[in-house]
Structure 1
Amino acid sequence: MERHVVFAAALTVTAAEWSMFRRSPVHDACSTVDGPTTNTTVWTASTAGAIYGSPALANTTLFVGSYTTPRGTMAAYDTATGATQWQFQAGGAIGSTPVHIPPYDLLVFGADDGCLYGLEASTGVQLWKWRHAKFGKFNMASSPVFDAESSLLFFGTSDRTGHIFAVSLALPLAPELQWARATGVGDGVPGGPALSGGTVTVGANDGKVYNIDAESGAVRWTTQTSGVVYSSPAISRDGQIVFVGSNDGNCFALNHSTGAVLWSFLTPGWADSSPAVDDADGAVYFATSNGNGFQNYAALFKLKMTTGDVMWSDVLASADGLYDPVIAGSKIYAGSINAGTTPGYPPGYLVAWEKASGTRSWMLETGGHLGAAAALGAAGELYIGDQRGHLFKLV
């Protein structure tokens, strides 16, 4: 049953809640609160299937989707116990991270049936389902980002339709298309868009990074790389620099106003993971995976934001890739995947490093691939899901 409610005021998002992909609209994935100091799990919960997206948080509730076919499941879990609060079946698999919009108890996510869903976050009741008739069915692995000032939601399609969408969540509640922008020939937009300064920045499978006016959908600039851009860009909090990786192995820093390359750093593998930005420390973190002829090259690089100089690096020989690092106080965390090219090692680890030195603090074997980022709670607790369908909490 669908229920319809009316927004009486502008929507706001408290970024500290880690209520969306990579914490906030700029996708910095950085918290000042210290994260777990040991690999001890508080609880483990089973989900409906493989977890390809990150969790989103709302006070004492954790939201995460499962990539099950033909219908994925979005579920809510109690952060204290891991108990399931509700489950909702979508019309397609869910491979992205939902966004929670706190004042109006709204949870929004996309699925591979080409639909955007709006649920009442406290109950899981469907409020609306949206798909634009002109564009038909498409896959939606791109995690949506929400702009509180304009009440616009931005997301991309991850199949050959290759569009970036903006929909309005202002009155009436059911979304209305604001604009749709094609990315050109290719397989679409696998990563989530980042938002800063009235523009949306996103990478696409045509190898370009796009910067688009958030209100009109006009393209402000594009920057071409030599590989597919699977990762989601991150933007410095001052709005000056865009950081993004490409499968050509390069980690890029781009001028947010013009798209000009400020610096690039070539890694031996694929830079297909979303970077994490620590403005206070003047550093950006890129994780890499096997590629470009290199095997067993799961690595984490700490680079100076302004120059790209290497501050430290660490190679995890037991994995094929590291993905989507997150920063919590004095530590940084990332998950790994071992797809079988490193025999004798487990399929996945959660790894913690000392941010200052790059020394590994601890590792946790989860039993499943960890290809999506963790989310961090207000007290530094860490939540992450693996591709076996297990959800973990650490403190």
Structure 2
Amino acid sequence: MLHKPIVFSATILGVLLLLLIMFPLPPLFSQRLAESPWPTYRGNLKRTGIAPFKGPTTDKLRWVFSTGLSEKEGGIETDPVIGPDGTIYFGANNGIFYALDPESGTIRWAFPTDFDTFAIYSTAFVDQQGIVYLGAKDGKVYALTAPRKGIMGDVVWSINLGTTIQTSPAFTPDGTLVIGADDWAYYGITPARGTSGAKIKWRFQTQGTLISSPTVDFDGTVFVASMDGKVYALQPPGEAGQPVKVLWTFASGGRDDKGGFENAPAIDNEGTLYIAANDGVLYALDTKSGKLKWSFDGVARAGYRTYAIFSSVAIGSDRTIYFGGKNGDLYAVQERAGLFGTSAEALWHYGLGPGIQSSPLLTNDGTVYIGDERGTFHAVRPPQAGEQGTALWKFSTKGTLISSPALGADGTLYVGSMDGKLYAFNSSAGAAPASVGPFSGTWYGLYESPLFSGKVRVVLVQKGTQLLFTWFLDGAGRGEAHGTVQGNRIEASLPIKTARCQGTLSGDGRLEKGEIRAEVRIDRCMGNPVTGKLMLRHG
């Protein structure tokens, strides 16, 4: 039987064309997120903080990774993210960006940035190629990838903004990286392509410190916020050198500690942007106009109106909004339509006790995971009745929890603490194998020689008798090397190239009582060989 060909009339084609104009398909992001459970800050492009998996039902640890130091020298303030191959990425205050094996928590590779104190606040963005993007206190935005050999991450490109960075990157549909810096400006950066290096495409100046990270909608609108107390909707220029168009602004009515914004905007699928301010108020804004839809002042009513909300929100599938306040309460808030307009009410809350600086992660069974300022991590279940959530489990770390959690597809939950440790929780997985050698880990110390001396950070990975390491020496920069292990002794060599020294650095050392002491020789410094001493401690 013959079928007649389908013929579209001009009228039908016209209707289809009109629909495409009125409701265009979202553009494909040229810098696409990695296909992984948690590839960026808050889990996805809209910063919703929701995971499509179930998390751990107990506080059973799979493994713990330590930077060796805590607080400003080694604490973890960034959120872990997950690469397409499962690698766990995070940066620490020691200035080292780590890539860990998800099964064992061992180091796959690392990259030392130029600063070593309160050094990385920026949570990474991982794209489909496995390239990792982040900002650092040394003023640089880095694009890193796994090394072809050794353990020091390869720099795909970097750009120096000339000022420190506290925010996390996002990408616009045309592949421009957006990040905020401590000169109070947001930057649009064109990544390096071919022989052309990364370049600043545009810059938008606010009037306050930038702690809030940018959020990009599918139509390319960039939403940013500042400690100047304003939320901005920006339309970036198509070409470099053209001005940024401000579509709208919203002002909280205060700034800095009394109304500035420290958390990131989050967007739902109905055109609402959610962000909370230091005045203790959660705001729901229309993404097209910036008009206030509703607000919730529960934290302010509890008596907290300065530095009141650091927590970004999580958005449930039913548009319930979850966030924590300085008063120590986790709130579940939902919009309510009434005769006199739209408002919001708290469906339930849960008292953590201390204040909250981290942001909630919401799983598909309704469990909320969040940390508090005293270092306790909470798994919270919504109430079956009443207004009080209940604790599923708690776990105490030894540092403030600023880092927010990430969740893997296998149910492993990762979170960092200011005690310098990254924790991996999984209720069903077995404990990670303890297979690392005694030299593996992060070491800190001093190098002294007649020509120059300085602090040094070294990441070592021992594989049997083989030793791989990457290092950063003040005044000399970063490098990598390999060596061999025999008992408690090591021998190593590496090429070195600084303003004063070019050639080969070689040395041998001994591990005793938690210290590595080595004699290091450089064959050519200002035309002469130089011998120095290296002392390292494991945190």
Q: TM-score range by the shorter chain?
A: 0.7 to 0.9
The aligned residue for residue 34 of structure 1 is none
Matched to 2:272, the amino acid is A
Deviations 1:93-128 (A, max 9, x none): 1111011125x2311111111111111112111222
The aligned residue for residue 42 of structure 1 is none
* Contact map agreement 2:54 2:365 (CA 8 A) in 1: no
* Contact map agreement 1:27 1:194 (CA 8 A) in 2: no
The aligned residue for residue 393 of structure 1 is 379
Quick check: 1:176 aligned with 2:176? no
In the superposition, relative to structure 1, how do residues 355 and 184 fare at CA in structure 2: closer, same or farther (>3 Å)? Answer: farther
Matched to 2:130, the amino acid is S
C-alpha separation in 2, matches of 1:19 and 1:394: 24
- Work out which of the residue numbers 109, 115, 120 in structure 1 matches 2:96: 115
The aligned residue for residue 368 of structure 1 is 354
The aligned residue for residue 420 of structure 2 is none
- Work out which of the residue numbers 243, 251, 254 in structure 1 matches 2:231: 251
- Work out which of the residue numbers 187, 190, 201 in structure 2 matches 1:210: 187
Cα distance, 1:310 vs. partner?
Answer: 0.5
The aligned residue for residue 432 of structure 2 is none
Quick check: 1:303 aligned with 2:285? yes
C-alpha separation in 2, matches of 1:349 and 1:155: 31
Stretch of structure 1 that moved more, 106-115 or 348-357: 348-357
Deviations 1:311-369 (A, max 9, x none): 001222223412211211220011111xxxxxxxxx41111110454212122110122
In the superposition, relative to structure 1, how do residues 355 and 303 fare at CA in structure 2: closer, same or farther (>3 Å)? Answer: same
The total of aligned residue pairs comes to 315
Q: Output aligned runs, 1:214-225, within 5 Å.
A: 214-215=191-192, 216-225=197-206
* Contact map agreement 1:114 1:140 (CA 8 A) in 2: yes
**Unmatched tracts of structure 1, length 5 or more:** 1-10, 32-56, 62-78, 290-296, 338-346
C-alpha separation in 1, matches of 2:180 and 2:267: 17
Quick check: 1:96 aligned with 2:78? yes
Q: Output aligned runs, 1:239-388, within 5 Å.
A: 240-257=220-237, 259-268=244-253, 269-278=259-268, 280-289=269-278, 297-315=279-297, 316-317=299-300, 318=302, 319=304, 320=306, 321-322=308-309, 323-329=311-317, 330-337=319-326, 347-355=327-335, 357-388=343-374
Cα distance, 1:300 vs. partner?
Answer: 0.7
Cα distance, 1:151 vs. partner?
Answer: 2.4
Task: Tell me the TM-score normalised to structure 1 length.
Answer: 0.74
C-alpha separation in 2, matches of 1:94 and 1:107: 14
Deviations 1:173-205 (A, max 9, x none): 7421122222234xx111211123212111111
- Work out which of the residue numbers 116, 124, 133 in structure 2 matches 1:154: 133
Matched to 2:221, the amino acid is I
* Aligned partner of residue 123 in structure 1, secondary structure: coil
Cα distance, 1:18 vs. partner?
Answer: 3.8
C-alpha separation in 1, matches of 2:234 and 2:199: 19
In the superposition, relative to structure 1, how do residues 131 and 381 fare at CA in structure 2: closer, same or farther (>3 Å)? Answer: same
Cα distance, 1:88 vs. partner?
Answer: 0.8
Cα distance, 1:255 vs. partner?
Answer: 0.9
Cα distance, 1:58 vs. partner?
Answer: 9.9
Larger radius of gyration: 2
The aligned residue for residue 70 of structure 1 is none
C-alpha separation in 1, matches of 2:159 and 2:321: 35
Cα root mean square deviation, aligned: 2.3
**Unmatched tracts of structure 2, length 5 or more:** 1-31, 69-73, 239-243, 254-258, 337-342, 382-539
In the superposition, relative to structure 1, how do residues 265 and 93 fare at CA in structure 2: closer, same or farther (>3 Å)? Answer: same
Deviations 1:240-279 (A, max 9, x none): 211111111111111144532111111121122211111x
* Aligned partner of residue 208 in structure 2, secondary structure: coil
C-alpha separation in 1, matches of 2:296 and 2:66: 40
Which fold has the larger relative contact order, with Cα–Cα distance below 8 Å and residues 6 or more apart in sequence? 1
C-alpha separation in 1, matches of 2:176 and 2:291: 28
C-alpha separation in 1, matches of 2:110 and 2:236: 34
Q: Which runs of 4+ in 1 moved over 4 A?
A: 57-61, 170-174
Cα distance, 1:237 vs. partner?
Answer: 2.7
C-alpha separation in 2, matches of 1:86 and 1:58: 23
In the superposition, relative to structure 1, how do residues 247 and 143 fare at CA in structure 2: closer, same or farther (>3 Å)? Answer: same
Percent of residue pairs bearing the same amino acid type: 27
Deviations 1:127-179 (A, max 9, x none): 222225xx35350011111111x322111113xx2221111237457421122
Matched to 2:349, the amino acid is M
